[in-house]
Amino acid sequence: MDKPRRDHVMGLLKKMTEVTMMRGAQSGGVVTYLPAGHGGMKGCRSRVVNKKRTDLSLLLSKQLKWDVARRCLFSGPVKTPAVFSGHTRFATSSVANLSGTHPHQWMPPSSQPVWSLSPEGQLLRRMQNVEMFVTHNGDFEFLKVEGNMHPVDSVQEWLTRVLGVAPPSLTDSCAIAGLMDLLRTQGLWFASIRYASVCWDVADLRDSFVMGSNLIQSVAEVMDQVFAELMHKTDGFSGHSESTQDTKERVHSLRALLPQMVLPKLSSNKELLNHLEVVHFHNGMQATQRGGGKSASSFADGHDNTDYEGDASLRRASSHRGPSSGTELLANFVTATVDAFFNNDLLFAASYFLRCAKGSFGLCVTSSLDADKQVVLAARGQTMSMSVFPEQKLILFGSEQAAVKAAMERPAYSKKTEQYLDKAYRIDLNDLGGELVLVNWAASSQRPEMMSEAFAEEVARGEVQQATLMTSGRYAVVATV
């Protein structure tokens, strides 16, 4: 991003912060993503706590400029579309401090092997930085799982065990970040196995069984190796150009073959088989005590969970309807893992959370794995608007309608046409019934349906509406909530 463009975006962020400060100006923060090598991205978060006689918008703008400039010395300039996600806060239930200031993150950044589609349609394995951030207006009160209502403090304790990391903040918004870490698993074997191993159907999540990280890692190494071998055998690393339909068919054929190749490799893993059988027995006992024959591990009770294949597989994986052999349990577990590996993208994570979370939400969810191509916005019980400025290659979104009009007050000027670029469109999310928006500017070969069969099926059924907001060029995506 060149200096005039950067200065324009920073000015917009400051103006948007001034508007959203009406919601509270005790503290504020912004996260953006910078290059981290091998085509990956790394979050750059700036947070400040306002003082008695300081202007939060000036304080935050100054801190962000400093942090970005310092990081760019090592990472180089941003050449991809730039994402800035910010938040201002008034601490209603806690002290205004940095740990409680958005954007929130639960898992610290880590380098992991990631499988993803390149702009050329190749499915590649690269070591990349993995981290997620959320900004949230509202209150996250309960998580409804299998008819059981779990308060946020129980969810936080449970996530600490599942993720193996204590929360950096005890705010409810940080718990949302932890759930995003758990749910967004696409292209990550470790995270997909962790997701598939979770036991949801318990009266108290704190009593659920958790698969140890060493066991998850050993299984992930097997699945990663088998997948790489399968890619090699099917010419998956070919550099020749393919149509998007060819890419889609190739990925889905790999997906169908993978469980058949993995099962023989894992059938001798006694620790894994023992864990699956213990969880299976525990689920059966829980169901007997409740006097029901309901299947376990269905994440969003009261919804049609067949919308997502990963969830259908989870229900198969831990269903206690009748006796199951260790082989059957393993087969279902592998299927659930493979489904999560392909299906559980950023939109899946945010959508699934919104379905089973109780409270009010104005959400922005970003990930280092997706920040070069997409952002997810959600609203229910909290307002959220988005404006598109096609001539400026700019998208603004925020909790206040006035904030997303900032580019109208500060329109970019084209020396070529000698005109101000002020064409704009605004979208207000349905905060009454709840709505999610996937802002996606990926290449055609990287569209969500290329990896996720569940997403493609939802589009075909008309449950997901796609709109092309951007076609080319470098866009800046700016948010304050």
| 407 close to 398: Cβ distance less than 8 angstroms | no
For 55-210, list the strands marked E by DSSP: 82-89, 110-117, 123-130, 132-145, 148-151
- The whole-angstrom separation of Cα 26 and Cα 21 is 9
- Measuring CA to CA, how many Å separate 155 from each of 159, 162, 329? 6, 10, 26
Helix or strand or coil: residue 302?
coil
| 199 close to 297: Cβ distance less than 8 angstroms | yes
Of 120, 106, 10, nearest to 67 by C-alpha is 10
Strand partners, 426: 387
Q: Which residue is it, tokens 């922005």?
A: 364
- Measuring CA to CA, how many Å separate 59 from each of 52, 88, 260, 405? 12, 12, 56, 22
Pairing mode, strands 110-117 and 132-145: unpaired
- Phi/psi for 176 (5° steps) reads -65, -40
Amino acid identity for residue 470 in this structure: M
Per-residue tens of pLDDT for the chain, all 481 residues: 667 777 888 888 999 998 888 767 789 999 999 888 766 899 999 999 998 888 999 999 999 999 988 877 666 666 656 889 999 887 666 677 888 899 999 999 999 999 998 877 788 899 999 999 999 999 999 999 878 899 999 999 999 999 999 999 999 999 999 999 999 999 999 999 999 998 777 778 888 889 999 999 999 999 999 999 988 887 654 545 556 677 778 888 888 899 999 999 999 999 999 999 888 877 666 555 555 433 334 333 333 333 333 444 444 444 433 445 788 999 999 999 999 999 999 999 999 999 999 999 999 999 999 998 889 999 999 999 999 888 788 889 999 889 998 888 777 667 777 777 678 889 899 999 898 888 888 766 677 767 777 766 666 665 655 554 443 344 455 555 5
Could you count the other beta carbons within 10 Å of the beta carbon of residue 144? 17
| 387 close to 371: Cβ distance less than 8 angstroms | no
Helix or strand or coil: residue 171?
coil
| 260 close to 335: Cβ distance less than 8 angstroms | no
